[in-house]
C-alpha cells in the first residue's frame, strides 16, 4: 500500500426513502452514523486523504465529516451540479499519481479488508479503473458487469440492460478504484449521470468509460459487504448483519452470548472470555467487561467498565460507571455517571447511585438514592436511605465513614458527614454531622391512641350506611 491513495466518499443527496428530517448518512447504526462508518472503513486502508462529497455547504454532513477528520466538498444536488463538479475537480486537481478510491457512504457492511483486496487486484492488474462487483441472487435494480469474450469489462446500468443482460448475476457495487493520471482519471470529462443529478460514484467514471483504458472488475467473495442502505428497512437489515458479525466475533473470542439474536453490543465494547450475556441486553459505547462477569436479562449498559466476576442482575441500567471486581448489582439498579463501585460491594433493587465512590464491601440493598457521596469500606446503607444532595441551588456532598451503619428510611441532608463506625437509627433525618462511633437519632417519638382505628372504622361504617361518607 505504498502507492498514494485518496478516498472519495460519496454522501450527497441520499435518503429520500427515509422520510426523515435528517440526512440518511447521519442515521446511526449500532452507535455510529453511516458516514462515520464509511470514514472509519476508509481510514482502515490508510489513505493520504479522505474527502467526503456531501450536499450543500454548510450542512450537517460537512460538520460530521470534519468532526471525523475528513475533508468536505459540497456536491450540492441536481440544481448545482456544475458547482459540484467544479468542487470535485478542485479537490482532486493537485493529485498526480497513485489511486483514487470512490466509496459510497451507504454501504455500512463494507470492510477495510475488502477494499484492500480491491486495491491489490487493481494494482496487480495495472488497471486504470477497477470496479468492485459481486454475484448476488437477486440482481434486480443494480447495474450489471458484462464481461466480453475478450475479457473486456462493461458496466450496464440497470435501466439500459436488455433482457439477456438482466439475467447477469454479477452486479457492480458502486465502489471503484481509479488510477490517478491514467486515461480514465479525466477530471475534465466528469459528468452527471442520468437526469436525477444524483452524486453517486458512477458519476465519476461513466462518461470516461468509452474513452478507453484498462478496466477490470474485482468480484468480492463477500457479497454481503456491499448491501446498500436505501430505506429504513435496509438500515435495520444491515444493522442485524453488523450485529451478527460482532456477535460471532465475540463468541469466537470466548464470550457466552445466550441469545445472539437479542444481544445488541456495539463494536467498541470489549468483553473478556467467559463473560456471559443473557438475552435482551443492550451494551453501548466503549464498555469493558471482565472475565466471568455475568450480565442478566434486560440490562442496558452504556460506556461502563465492569471488572472480573461481577454479577449484574436483570434489568440493571448503567452509564459511565466503574464496577470493580466481584461487585454485585441489581436487579433494577441504576448507576449513573461518576459512580465507582469498589470491589466486592453490593447495590440492590431500586437503588440509584450517581457521582459516588462506593467503598469496598459496602452494601445498599434496597430503594435508595446516593448522589454526590463518598461511602467508606463495609458501610451498610439501609433500605430507603436517601442523600438529600440538592437544596434547590447546588449539589452538596455526603460522606459516610468506613463501617458506619445507616438505618433504613433515613435521610442524610447534605452537606453532612457520618463518622467511621457510627450508627444512624432507622427513620432519622440527619442534618448535622455524626461523630465516629456514635449513635444518631432524629425522629419523632411514638405514641398511641387506643381504639382510635376501631372507632374510626365504626364511624365510617355508620356514615356509609346513612349515605354520607365523610370519615
Q: Does 431 bind a copy of itself (CB under 8 A)?
A: yes
Choice between 175 and 257, CB closer to a copy of itself? 257
Q: Does 150 bind a copy of itself (CB under 8 A)?
A: no
- Written as one string, the DSSP assignment of 158-198 is GGG--HHHHT--EEEEEEEEEETTSTT--GGG----TTT--
Query: Is 300 part of the annotated catalytic residue set?
Result: no
Q: Which of 86, 136, 161, 317 binds a copy of itself (CB under 8 A)?
A: 317
Q: Which of 246, 255, 304, 321 binds a copy of itself (CB under 8 A)?
A: 255
Smallest distance from a copy of itself to CB 64, Å? 17
Dist. CA 43–CA 9, nearest whole Å: 11
Q: What separation in angstroms does the CA of 231 have from each of 24, 142, 352, 377?
A: 9, 16, 39, 54
Choice between 18 and 204, CB closer to a copy of itself? 18
Smallest distance from a copy of itself to CB 440, Å? 5
Smallest distance from a copy of itself to CB 243, Å? 9
Smallest distance from a copy of itself to CB 316, Å? 10
Residues between 7 and 66 that touch a copy of itself (CB under 8 A): 18-22, 27
Please return the burial class of 470, using the count of CB atoms within 10 Å of its CB with bins 0-12, 13-18 and 19+: exposed
Residues between 381 and 410 that touch a copy of itself (CB under 8 A): 382-384, 386-388, 390-394, 405, 407-409
Residues between 275 and 304 that touch a copy of itself (CB under 8 A): 278-280, 282, 291-292, 296-298, 300
Choice between 153 and 242, CB closer to a copy of itself? 242
Q: Does 423 bind a copy of itself (CB under 8 A)?
A: yes
Strand ordering across the sheet containing 333-335: 263-265, 281-284, 300-302, 317-319, 333-335, 351-354, 369-371, 386-388, 411-413, 429-430
Q: Does 123 bind a copy of itself (CB under 8 A)?
A: no
Q: Does 435 bind a copy of itself (CB under 8 A)?
A: yes
Residues between 438 and 457 that touch a copy of itself (CB under 8 A): 438-454, 456-457
Q: Which of 253, 337, 462, 468 binds a copy of itself (CB under 8 A)?
A: 253
Q: What separation in angstroms does the CA of 264 have from each of 198, 279, 281, 284?
A: 34, 10, 6, 8
Smallest distance from a copy of itself to CB 317, Å? 5
Collect contacts of 57-66 with beta carbons under 8 A, ≥24 apart.
59/23, 60/22, 60/23, 60/26, 61/11, 61/12, 61/23, 61/25, 61/26, 61/35, 64/25, 64/26, 64/33, 64/35, 64/36, 65/9, 65/11, 65/35, 65/39
Q: Does 337 bind a copy of itself (CB under 8 A)?
A: no
Closest CA to 353 of 325, 377, 375: 375
Binding mask 354-383 for a copy of itself (x = CB under 8 A): ------------xxxx-x--------x-xx
Determine the angle formed by the axes of helices 34-43 and 60-67, rounding to 10 degrees: 30
Residues between 66 and 105 that touch a copy of itself (CB under 8 A): none
Smallest distance from a copy of itself to CB 253, Å? 6
Q: Which of 326, 334, 342, 399 binds a copy of itself (CB under 8 A)?
A: 334
Closest CA to 224 of 124, 135, 315: 135
Residues between 192 and 221 that touch a copy of itself (CB under 8 A): none
Smallest distance from a copy of itself to CB 89, Å? 35
Q: Does 429 bind a copy of itself (CB under 8 A)?
A: yes
Please return the burial class of 285, using the count of CB atoms within 10 Å of its CB with bins 0-12, 13-18 and 19+: middle
Closest CA to 68 of 16, 9, 125: 9
Number of Cβ atoms within 10 Å of the Cβ of 378? 16
Residues 84-97: b if buried by 16+ CB within 10 A, e if exposed: bbebbeebbeebee
For residue 36, which phi and psi values (nearest 5 degrees)?
-60, -40
Choice between 311 and 440, CB closer to a copy of itself? 440
265 and 285 Cβ atoms separated by less than 8 Å: no
Choice between 116 and 291, CB closer to a copy of itself? 291
Q: Which of 100, 352, 359, 373 binds a copy of itself (CB under 8 A)?
A: 352
Smallest distance from a copy of itself to CB 102, Å? 28
Catalytic member of 122, 300, 346, 366: 366
Choice between 89 and 390, CB closer to a copy of itself? 390
Report the run of H or E that residue 233 belongs to, with start and end. helix 232-252
Q: Which of 124, 125, 191, 432 binds a copy of itself (CB under 8 A)?
A: 432
Number of residues that bind a copy of itself (CB under 8 A): 108
Provide the annotated active-site residues.
366
Amino acid at each position: 500500500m505504498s502507492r498514494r491513495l485518496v478516498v472519495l466518499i460519496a454522501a450527497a443527496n441520499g435518503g429520500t426513502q427515509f422520510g426523515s428530517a435528517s440526512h440518511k448518512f447521519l442515521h446511526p447504526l449500532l452507535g455510529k452514523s453511516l458516514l462515520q462508518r464509511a470514514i472509519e472503513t476508509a481510514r482502515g486502508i490508510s489513505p493520504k486523504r479522505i474527502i467526503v462529497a456531501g450536499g450543500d455547504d454548510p450542512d450537517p454532513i460537512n460538520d460530521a465529516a470534519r468532526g471525523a477528520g475528513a475533508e468536505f466538498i459540497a456536491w450540492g444536488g441536481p440544481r448545482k451540479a456544475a458547482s459540484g463538479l467544479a468542487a470535485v475537480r478542485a479537490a482532486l486537481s493537485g493529485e498526480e499519481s497513485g489511486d483514487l478510491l470512490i466509496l459510497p457512504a451507504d454501504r455500512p457492511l463494507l470492510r477495510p479488508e475488502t477494499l484492500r483486496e480491491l486495491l491489490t487486484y487493481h494494482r496487480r492488474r495495472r488497471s486504470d479503473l477497477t470496479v468492485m462487483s459481486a454475484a448476488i441472487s437477486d440482481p434486480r435494480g443494480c447495474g450489471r458487469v458484462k464481461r466480453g469474450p475478450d475479457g473486456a469489462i462493461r458496466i450496464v446500468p440497470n435501466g439500459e440492460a436488455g433482457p439477456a443482460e438482466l439475467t447477469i448475476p454479477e452486479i457492480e457495487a458502486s465502489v471503484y478504484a481509479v488510477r490517478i493520471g491514467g486515461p480514465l482519471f479525466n477530471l475534465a470529462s466528469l459528468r452527471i449521470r442520468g437526469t436525477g443529478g444524483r452524486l453517486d460514484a458512477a458519476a465519476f467514471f461513466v462518461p470516461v468509460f468509452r474513452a478507453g483504458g484498462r478496466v477490470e472488475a474485482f468480484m468480492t467473495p463477500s457479497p454481503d459487504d456491499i448491501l446498500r442502505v436505501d430505506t429504513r428497512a435496509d438500515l435495520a437489515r444491515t444493522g442485524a448483519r453488523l450485529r451478527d458479525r460482532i456477535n460471532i466475533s465475540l463468541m469466537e473470542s470466548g464470550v457466552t452470548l445466550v441469545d445472539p439474536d437479542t444481544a445488541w453490543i456495539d463494536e467498541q465494547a470489549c468483553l473478556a472470555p467467559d463473560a456471559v450475556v443473557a438475552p435482551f441486553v443492550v451494551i453501548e459505547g466503549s464498555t469493558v467487561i471482565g472475565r466471568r462477569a455475568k450480565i442478566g436479562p434486560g440490562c442496558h449498559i452504556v460506556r461502563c467498565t465492569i471488572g472480573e466476576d461481577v454479577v449484574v442482575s436483570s434489568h440493571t441500567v448503567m452509564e459511565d460507571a466503574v464496577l470493580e471486581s466481584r461487585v454485585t448489582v441489581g436487579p433494577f439498579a441504576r448507576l449513573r455517571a461518576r459512580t465507582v463501585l469498589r470491589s466486592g460491594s453490593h447495590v440492590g433493587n431500586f437503588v440509584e447511585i450517581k457521582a459516588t465512590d462506593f467503598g469496598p464491601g459496602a452494601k445498599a440493598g434496597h430503594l435508595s438514592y446516593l448522589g454526590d457521596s463518598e461511602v467508606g469500606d463495609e458501610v451498610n446503607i439501609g433500605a430507603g436511605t436517601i442523600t438529600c444532595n440538592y437544596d434547590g441551588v447546588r449539589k452538596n456532598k455526603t460522606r459516610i465513614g468506613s463501617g458506619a451503619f445507616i438505618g433504613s428510611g433515613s435521610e442524610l441532608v447534605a452537606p453532612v458527614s457520618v463518622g467511621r463506625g457510627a450508627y444512624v437509627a432507622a427513620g432519622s433525618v440527619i442534618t448535622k454531622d455524626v461523630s465516629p462511633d456514635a449513635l444518631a437519632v432524629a425522629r419523632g417519638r411514638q405514641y398511641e391512641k387506643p381504639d382510635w382505628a376501631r372507632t374510626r372504622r365504626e364511624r365510617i361504617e355508620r356514615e356509609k350506611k346513612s349515605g354520607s361518607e365523610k370519615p
